[in-house]
Structure 1
Amino acid sequence: MRKLTFAMNVSLDGYVAAPGDDLGWSVPSDEVFQWWSDRVGATSLALYGRRLWEAMSPFWPTADQQPDVTPAQIEYAHRWVEMPKVVFSSTISGLDGNTRLVSGDAATEISRLKAEDGGPMDIGGATLAATAMRAGLIDEYILITYPVLVGGGIPFFTALDSWVNLNLVETRSFAGGVLLTRYETRR
């Protein structure tokens, strides 16, 4: 069975995006960016919600051809393009490369993907992750917490019907007060 991880940048008050989908508060340092690049390199399958897909897909396929691109961004772009992806949306049509579209029930498809043999899966996008959270499908949560209060926006966690007990398995500090915390779901 595959492991499913939900990892995103998050504000100290728990949001992945400020009002208006503003992500300006979460621009990663080189060190954090390298962590994300290594994460993408170790992911066998990425699951994307529509909004995160629409934010990522216009840039990364051609990022290595942009002016002033850094070697770290080139490495990330290549890893991102090579990584198999599944996008969950009822409004998107036609995807390129090694990306496929799922427009049906997300929890059912995520359960099916988890049951397959294969390496780890990451889920991105708070709305899609909320569906997986409510269905009890997430095995690990990774929060890259930035020392900023944004006051509202899109929350990392969704409202749940029951508690989910977690074990802290890793912490790591980055420059600028950014803190990684990784938790495994206690089953």
Structure 2
Amino acid sequence: MRKLSYLIATSIDGFIGDVDGEAEFFTKYIDEKYLAHSLEELPDTLPTFARRHFGIDDRPNRRYDTVLMGRATYEVGLPQGFTNPYAHLKQYVVSRSMEEAPAPEVEVVAGDVVAKVRELKRQDGLDIWLCGGADLAGQLLDEMDELVIKTYPCFLGSGMPLTRAGFEIRDFALESVKSFDGGVVITTYSRKR
């Protein structure tokens, strides 16, 4: 069965962006080793334009073949014309307000997102990447099989939280920790079931 993996960037204090979700400031912490790691280990999570820029667009997907994101996460790239941001993945945008995506390759999920994720998990293929945001992560927390938390060395004080889930203890097991010269730490956890 496929896994749902929440792979997300966050500050030390658990915010994935400012109050509006903007997170461009995280890029200043990317060093050469982190970039090399991303290109080698996480190329599926790079937008298609970045894969082309780095000359890896022809690589087959290694880990993910599907991306799930909230409307606000998807809309970040629209002003730049990125209507099909992850052309190398099957793309789903979860939204109650968006009736149709501007690209035919992007499917809008307006109904029961938990049911949709369970359906996707039963299909053959690589894992499913939950890209963001906080509301969607809150709805899907109990469906997450893995957390890949990229912690950046900054403290924001407030902003968009990692998830908007209610209080409940959910146990995960530490799988790995990798740190980089620029201060980024990638911590991977698997769901304890």
TM-score (norm 2): 0.78
Q: Which residue of 2 aligns with 1:15?
A: 15
**CA-atom RMSD in angstroms:** 2.3
1:116 lines up with 2:137 in the alignment: no
Alignment length, in residue pairs? 170
Q: Which runs of 5+ in 1 are unaligned?
A: 64-76
Q: Which residue of 2 aligns with 1:38?
A: 43
1:50 lines up with 2:55 in the alignment: no
Give the fraction of aligned pairs with identical amino acids, expressed as a percent.
26
Distance (whole Å) between structure 1 residues aligned to residue 106 and residue 89 of structure 2: 9
CA contact (8 A) 2:139 2:165 kept: no
Change (3 A) 1:150 1:85: same
CA contact (8 A) 1:82 1:98 kept: no
Distance (whole Å) between structure 2 residues aligned to residue 38 and residue 137 of structure 1: 24
Q: Which residue of 2 aligns with 1:3?
A: 3
CA contact (8 A) 2:17 2:23 kept: yes
Q: Which residue of 1 aligns with 2:170?
A: 164
Counterpart AA for 1:167: A
- Return 106-115 or 28-37, whichever deviates more: 28-37
Q: Specify which structure has the higher proportion of helix.
A: 1
Q: Which runs of 5+ in 2 are unaligned?
A: 46-60
Distance (whole Å) between structure 1 residues aligned to residue 72 and residue 143 of structure 2: 21
Shift of 1:2: 1.1
CA contact (8 A) 2:66 2:91 kept: yes
Q: Structure 2 matches for 1:73-84, cutoff 5 A?
A: 80-84=86-90
Q: Which residue of 2 aligns with 1:131?
A: 139
